[in-house]
């Protein structure tokens, strides 16, 4: 493997600005790696070679004439395929948008380019970001570089697989119920879901608009902070982006937080949790204790996880999420009818309704159809109060629990996922099983607060385990510093998967 691929994004940027290498050389190293490995990982839907080369050349030219090319100068970054770009296609990994060329570029993507990043391509995802394994993609599933028989998680699975497999230096994902953090945990990388409103959603294809956020997926915490410095901030084009100053997330990253107050949500450390993950989380708590953190139990009663008589799990948060998210999705996805947007049937349609219905039947995959039907049902006049309105009330109760916990804690610490990466096809037959993959991440989106997933170790099968650190509203700075404290003290950082082609079992 080319040594440039082993550098973190910030190290690569520094190597380029010192003149040790060039943006073009770094890009070619990544393009070569993609050509060799992406056949196995299937992380990309589209590699945007020409545009990437143009951008890398621009960065190198700017350096030659002494101009500063920006904070992410020359860093090859992959973009989840639900972020609009005027070059290449934005398919959301759906047949519905197979040929969609966006008329504008997402603000987050425009910002990283402005900062000198080189956009490598569009990564695979669960169709319209609905799923936890990337198996719901019209392009076929992506693969976990740690074990080629396992999923990378989802829905930002292509981005996670690309970062972990050294097919990009960093990536952008989106997170509605866990889609950045869960794949980050399963692939052994860092992923941050920012506070709702911290990063502009302009140009992010909408799934659940009151939950969606764009965020970084990186090899380490410093890279994550660097990408946040670039993408965070107000955008007049997104009315839900908040006009509040953005701190420099890199500036104090290495300063430990004195007397860090950590809350352990009792509800998230129950028997439902895989014993190896439980142990890894306990070890992480010990690391923080040894650094002088104050650790105490807290309660998030409305996020609790119940196990039924047969061991089946349930949670208010998951139930609430699948009402709110599907309701919003059914409305957001109404525009894909073959006329306004998207795939149009080639068969003769009797009338306009028939045209819509045939186009939608052909263009959407099964999971997307299931969500649209669920969402339409919970919003229908007869059931609105019983489901949608009730879910909004539960959402408030969940948020209140978080507000209360943050009165006495700086961060909450818990697992990111109930188990390490699962096998391909293991959960595809039972949608509910798949929904439970997000049991620890979903309430964070409902509450709108920021959370990071960082690696805390490996399972006995050599699969990554992730830890989630949740912060109060707009406290990405605290979350990042706490994550960095762990990375430094534990030495668990930049985990490298075994060479490709070897399964862990
Ligand atoms: N797995 C969850 C879902 O399917 C979350 C997806 C996401 O965050 N985009 O809705």
C-alpha 207 – ligand 1 centre gap (Å): 9
Specify whether 142 is catalytic.
no
**Which atom number of ligand 1 is nearest to the Cα of residue 129?**
9
- Ligand 1 probe mutation, 92, 136, 154, most atoms within 8 A of CB: 154
C-alpha 132 – ligand 1 centre gap (Å): 6
Is pLDDT of 91 > 60?
yes
C-alpha 204 – ligand 1 centre gap (Å): 15
pLDDT in tens, 149-185: 999 999 999 999 999 999 999 999 999 999 999 999 9
pLDDT in tens, 248-271: 999 999 998 889 999 999 999 877
pLDDT at 446: 98
Q: Is 184 in the pocket of ligand 1 (CB under 6 A)?
A: no
pLDDT in tens, 179-208: 999 999 999 999 999 999 999 999 999 999
Question: Domain ranges in the chain?
Answer: 2-260+484-490, 313-389
pLDDT in tens, 367-377: 999 999 999 99
What single-letter DSSP state applies at residue 341?
A: B
Q: Is 175 in the pocket of ligand 1 (CB under 6 A)?
A: yes
**Which atom number of ligand 1 is nearest to the Cα of residue 130?**
4
Is pLDDT of 502 > 70?
no
With pLDDT > 70 as the criterion, what percentage of the chain qualifies? Answer: 99
What's the mean pLDDT in 109-137?
98
C-alpha 46 – ligand 1 centre gap (Å): 22
Q: Which H helix or E strand runs over 123?
A: strand 118-123
- Ligand 1 probe mutation, 212, 438, 444, 453, most atoms within 8 A of CB: 438
Is pLDDT of 505 > 50?
no
Q: Write out the DSSP string of 347-382.
A: S--SSHHHHHHHHHHHHS-HHHHHHHHHHHHHHSTT
pLDDT at 503: 46
pLDDT in tens, 224-237: 999 999 999 999 99
**Which atom number of ligand 1 is nearest to the Cα of residue 322?**
10
Is pLDDT of 273 > 90?
no
Q: Which H helix or E strand runs over 409?
A: none
d(CA 260, CA 397): 26
- List the strands of the sheet with 118-123, edge to edge: 44-47, 118-123, 76-80, 170-175, 213-218, 190-193, 451-458, 464-471, 411-415, 261-265, 294-298
Q: Is 176 in the pocket of ligand 1 (CB under 6 A)?
A: yes
pLDDT in tens, 315-365: 899 999 999 999 999 999 999 999 999 999 999 999 999 999 999 999 999
Specify whether 80 is catalytic.
yes
Contacts of 447 (CB under 8 A, 6+ apart): 398, 399, 401, 402
* Catalytic residue selected from 179, 315, 359, 459: 179
| 11, 222 contact by CB (below 8 A) | no
pLDDT class of 504 with cuts at 50, 70, 90: very low
Q: Is 178 in the pocket of ligand 1 (CB under 6 A)?
A: yes
Q: Is 182 in the pocket of ligand 1 (CB under 6 A)?
A: no
Q: Is 179 in the pocket of ligand 1 (CB under 6 A)?
A: yes
- The answer to whether the bond into 16 is cis (omega within 30° of 0) is no
d(CA 346, CA 351): 13
Tokens of 203: 């140009």
Specify whether 359 is catalytic.
no
Contacts of 438 (CB under 8 A, 6+ apart): 132, 177, 178, 182, 318, 321
Which runs of consecutive H residues, i.e. helices, occur in 87-237?
107-114, 157-164, 181-187, 221-231
pTM above 0.95, yes or no: yes
CATH number of 2-260+484-490: 3.90.1300.10
What's the mean pLDDT in 130-147?
98
pLDDT in tens, 20-70: 999 999 999 999 999 999 999 999 999 999 999 999 999 999 999 988 889
* Catalytic residue selected from 93, 94, 133, 155: 155
């Amino acid at each position: 493997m080319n040594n440039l691929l082993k550098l973190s994004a910030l190290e690569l940027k520094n190597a380029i600005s010192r003149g040790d290498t060039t943006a073009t050389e770094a890009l070619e190293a990544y393009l070569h790696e993609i050509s060799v490995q992406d056949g196995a990982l299937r992380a990309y839907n589209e590699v945007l070679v020409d545009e990437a080369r143009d951008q890398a050349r621009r960065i190198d030219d700017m350096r030659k004439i002494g101009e500063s090319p920006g904070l992410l100068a020359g860093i090859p970054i992959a973009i989840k395929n639900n972020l609009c770009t005027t070059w290449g296609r934005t398919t959301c990994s759906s047949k519905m948008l197979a040929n969609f060329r966006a008329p504008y570029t997402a603000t987050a993507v425009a910002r990283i380019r402005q900062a000198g990043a080189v956009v490598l391509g569009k990564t695979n995802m669960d169709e319209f970001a609905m799923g936890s394994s990337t198996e719901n993609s019209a392009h076929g599933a992506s693969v976990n570089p740690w074990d080629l028989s396992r999923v990378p998680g989802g829905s930002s699975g292509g981005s996670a697989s690309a970062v972990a497999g050294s097919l990009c230096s960093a990536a952008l994902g989106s997170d509605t119920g866990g889609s950045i953090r869960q794949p980050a945990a399963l692939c052994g990388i860092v992923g941050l879901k920012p506070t709702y409103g911290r990063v502009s959603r302009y140009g992010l294809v909408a799934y659940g608009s009151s939950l969606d956020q764009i965020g970084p997926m990186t090899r380490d915490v410093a890279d994550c902070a660097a990408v946040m410095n670039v993408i965070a901030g107000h955008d007049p084009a997104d009315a839900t982006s908040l006009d509040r100053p953005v701190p420099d997330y890199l500036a104090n990253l290495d300063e430990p937080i004195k007397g860090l107050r950590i809350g352990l949500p009792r509800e998230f450390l129950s028997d439902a949790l895989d014993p190896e993950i439980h142990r890894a989380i306990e070890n992480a708590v010990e690391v923080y204790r040894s650094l002088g953190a104050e650790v105490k139990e807290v309660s998030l009663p409305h996020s609790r996880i119940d196990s039924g008589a047969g061991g089946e799990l349930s949670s208010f948060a998951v139930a609430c999420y699948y009402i709110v998210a599907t309701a919003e999705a059914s409305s957001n996805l109404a525009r894909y009818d073959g006329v306004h947007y998207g795939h149009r049937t080639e068969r003769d349609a009797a009338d306009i309704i028939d045209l819509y219905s045939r186009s939608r039947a052909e263009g959407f995959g099964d999971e997307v159809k299931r969500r649209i039907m669920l969402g339409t049902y919970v919003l229908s006049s007869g059931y609105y109060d019983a489901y949608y309105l009730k879910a909004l009330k539960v959402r408030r109760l969940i948020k209140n629990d978080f507000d209360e916990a943050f009165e006495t804690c700086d961060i909450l610490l818990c697992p990111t996922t109930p188990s390490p990466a699962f096998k391909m096809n293991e959960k595809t037959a039972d949608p509910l099983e798949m929904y439970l993959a997000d049991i620890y991440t979903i309430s964070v989106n409902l509450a709108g607060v920021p959370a990071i997933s960082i690696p805390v170790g490996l399972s006995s099968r050599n699969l990554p385990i992730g830890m989630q650190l949740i912060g109060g509203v707009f406290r990405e700075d605290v979350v990042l510093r706490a994550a960095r404290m762990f990375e430094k003290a534990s030495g668990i950082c930049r985990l490298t998967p075994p060479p490709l082609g070897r399964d862990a079992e």
